[in-house]
Structure 1
Amino acid sequence: MQMFETYIKNDRHRTLVDKAGRIAAKVEQRVHIAEASAQFPQENINDLRAERYLSLTLPTEYNGEALSLYEFLLMQERLAMGDGATALSIGWHLGIVKELAEDRIWENETFDWFAREVADKQILVNRIASEKATGSPTRGGVPETIAKREGDHYLITGRKTFSTMASVLDYFIVSAYVEDQDTVGSFLIKSDQAGVSIDKTWDTLGMRGTGSDDVVFNQVKVNETMLVELNKQANTKKAKGWLLHIPACYLGIAMAARNDAIDFAKNFQPNSLKTPIAEVPHIQQKIGEIDLKLMQARCFMYQVAQEWDQCSSDQRQELSAELAATKTIATNIANEVVDIAMRIVGGRGLSKAYRFEQYYRDVRAGLHNPPMDDMVIQILAKRAISE
């Protein structure tokens, strides 16, 4: 854990990280359940609620902790060391709440009600925007989910894919083409509303515990006040610091693989050796390579987070390239680290008796979270050329 401790700078950090650590120890025990069911365990939500984890990014006036970006990443990285799927899933909720609180995208009255629901009831929310035909919403496709106006309400019809935590969410923030407005908007929809159903389609290689099933909307009646965002009125800010929860998660998985590999190397002694393999030069070479890679990625991530926290709102927009680069650097290095860890362990790394094969599968998912590597390279190239 010494490497992780590097970025814990004060007593508040210690308290927050300890909270994440307590939850990590509990959710780690249910990884096998999530792997088998491809669902987010309800017990994990119960543990998160018991620690009031779901309101951490709310402002203090709503009894939140007003986490800085730096603190948010510390907690998410530590949680991911217990279970990456839990950390990634909850990271979406916490990041969305943080963005809504800081940028005030919604009407004040709506956000005030929503924030109190999060604080008092520890409700769980996520944006669900991906669709089979459009792919990732970051690519700019217009959703095929349609919102038709009827008097003072809308009827929502469509299907969303990659809906993380679909079965345990309390609310969905659903993107749709709003016909009467001729633009894309987002609706806040309660998960138990009539016409909402979950199609259990999630059967992937990695991150199985996110339970990212399809959500189907069949003529779901939603009051016009729940049209919380319209693209033509949307905040033009593009830099979203909270999305660094993604690299923090995958670095947490890599840290767990690193720790397990070192533990294995210190305790495994084949009968051909007089010492554990941790004393073998080529194993030490691999361990050193792991730490060098993690130092590079984590230093960059926490430096960007610190800059974000210290910047004004306008200055933060100048960090968009650094935010994107952080995700690409961290997820690629996390994959490299897990690969090296498995080379240390050897064939046993493929056994279900260890978690290495799960780390290997889970960390691959980071390459497909936004922004994609090609988009990041284009961002950096265009900035360099414009300068």
Structure 2
Amino acid sequence: MKELFIKTERQRYWLQKLATIAEPIKAGATEVDEKAHFPFEAHRLLLQLGYPKLTLPMEYGGEGFTVYDMVLIQETLASYDENSSLSLGWTLGAVGEIYERKIWSPAVLKTISQEIMKGAIINRAASEVATGSPTRGGRPQTNAVSVKKGWRLNGRKIFTTAAPVLDYFLTSAWIEEKQQVGFFLIPKSTEGLSVEENWDMAAMRGTSSHDIVLQNAIVPAEYLVELVDQTNAKKVSGWLLHIPATYLGIAQAARDYAVDFAKHYQPNSLQVPISTLPNVHQLIGNMELKLQQARFVLYGAAEAYDDPARRPLLVNEIAVAKHTVTNLAIQTVDQAMRIVGAKSLQLTCPLQRHYRNVRAGLHNPPMDDMTIQKLAQSAIDS
């Protein structure tokens, strides 16, 4: 089925490159989950492949991936290890969005592009305990004050994915003197920046989404790279589709395990494997249906975003894709576990990991309730 969505030889080339490191990534996924540590080996292999530069435009030396390209490779990586996919997906999405919008100064864009070409990892640090997800509009408690050397920042960020390997933290803060929220580019070597390793979750345990603590951290004036206003705050970004791509990859991995199990498991009460049973046929068929529905929605949204003529028409479609794909992925994993039965809950079975991890998608932006509310409002306003 996925073959249907490969449109170019370049996409096939990169999928084949990714396949060359599939086995070691898959082999490490269980330990990453069990020990709740970052997938350092997968990260190393992906850096060797040039993963961080995939969504950097060609004019800056990158591979110039479109959103569609990104979704394709992210779904595949997630079928190997979802922690690796979500962790580096945030970098792909951030880089794609930054260089698409080009609201940073040309000098900073050039400097950071050179760092990305060397393998630098960047992610946004925007969530806080008091505000929850930044997509809900809460004002950051982290604050920035202008000083002679630039800006002084104080505060704490939560859910900073891939914290152990980030080279740059794109951090939101309230700027009292501007009465605006700004994003500051903070290098990991900045004095006053520290990582508090407190990520303790049942799902996506290997993303190491620790807290970031800022205590009188000073950054240069030019590293205030974005000011948030109503125009750019509400702008649709297709680069967020790396999120549902990861959860679709989890669903595919669960489906593959369950189908293989059904084809080979034969209890002594049967003369044939359970894949021949009508009820198992029904479950497998339901998984296939959900995966096909999810793919057409996800890749359709990505294709629309990449089309300059169609992109301005997008309003809620990116959020709809995330909502649809994430929920269908959860349902697919559930169907897979019904096929495998109680064994799916054994800690040695990857399905219990997929079950925990796929549900994390409900808590990645945009959340389901916000998507539904916006759809309702759009209908009322039309």
Match of 1:343 in 2: 338
Match of 1:221 in 2: 218
Q: Does 2:278 correspond to 1:281?
A: yes
Match of 2:186 in 1: 189
Cα distance per residue 1:215-245 (max 9 Å; x no partner): 1111111111111111249636511001111
Once residues 89 and 37 of structure 1 are traced to their aligned partners in structure 2, the CA distance between those partners, rounded to angstroms, is: 16
SS of 2:315 mapped into structure 1: helix
Match of 1:356 in 2: 351
Cα distance per residue 1:103-129 (max 9 Å; x no partner): 10201111111111101x110010000
Q: Following TM superposition, by how much is the alpha carbon of 1:146 offset from its aligned partner in structure 2, in angstroms?
A: 1.1
Once residues 135 and 272 of structure 2 are traced to their aligned partners in structure 1, the CA distance between those partners, rounded to angstroms, is: 52
Paired residues of 1:24 and 1:81 also in contact (CA < 8 A): no
Once residues 153 and 62 of structure 1 are traced to their aligned partners in structure 2, the CA distance between those partners, rounded to angstroms, is: 27
Q: 2:63 aligns with which of 59, 62, 65?
A: 65
TM-score, scaled to structure 2 = 0.97
User: Quick one: percent identity of the two aligned structures?
Assistant: 47
Q: What RMSD over aligned residues (CA atoms) do the two structures have, in Å?
A: 1.4
Match of 1:208 in 2: 205
Q: 1:81 aligns with which of 79, 82, 86?
A: 79
Match of 2:308 in 1: 311
Matches within 5 A, 1:1-387: 3-119=1-117, 121-232=118-229, 235=232, 238-312=235-309, 315-387=310-382
> Which deviates the most, 23-32 or 205-214?
23-32
Cα distance per residue 1:70-100 (max 9 Å; x no partner): 1110000000000111111111101110111
Paired residues of 1:149 and 1:179 also in contact (CA < 8 A): no
SS of 1:30 mapped into structure 2: helix
Change in Cα spacing, 1:21 to 1:307, as seen in structure 2 (3 Å) is same
Once residues 236 and 138 of structure 1 are traced to their aligned partners in structure 2, the CA distance between those partners, rounded to angstroms, is: 9
Cα distance per residue 1:330-384 (max 9 Å; x no partner): 0000000000000000011001221000000000000111111111111111222
Cα distance per residue 1:137-181 (max 9 Å; x no partner): 001111111112221322111110001011111110010112332
Q: Following TM superposition, by how much is the alpha carbon of 1:303 offset from its aligned partner in structure 2, in angstroms?
A: 1.3
SS of 1:235 mapped into structure 2: helix
Which structure 2 segments of 5+ residues have no match? none
Paired residues of 2:30 and 2:350 also in contact (CA < 8 A): no
Paired residues of 2:39 and 2:83 also in contact (CA < 8 A): no
Count of residues in correspondence between the two structures: 382
Paired residues of 2:43 and 2:84 also in contact (CA < 8 A): no
Q: Following TM superposition, by how much is the alpha carbon of 1:28 offset from its aligned partner in structure 2, in angstroms?
A: 1.7
TM-score, scaled to structure 1 = 0.96
Once residues 20 and 177 of structure 2 are traced to their aligned partners in structure 1, the CA distance between those partners, rounded to angstroms, is: 49
Paired residues of 2:161 and 2:208 also in contact (CA < 8 A): yes
SS of 2:236 mapped into structure 1: coil
Which structure 1 segments of 5+ residues have no match? none
Paired residues of 1:80 and 1:86 also in contact (CA < 8 A): yes
SS of 1:6 mapped into structure 2: helix
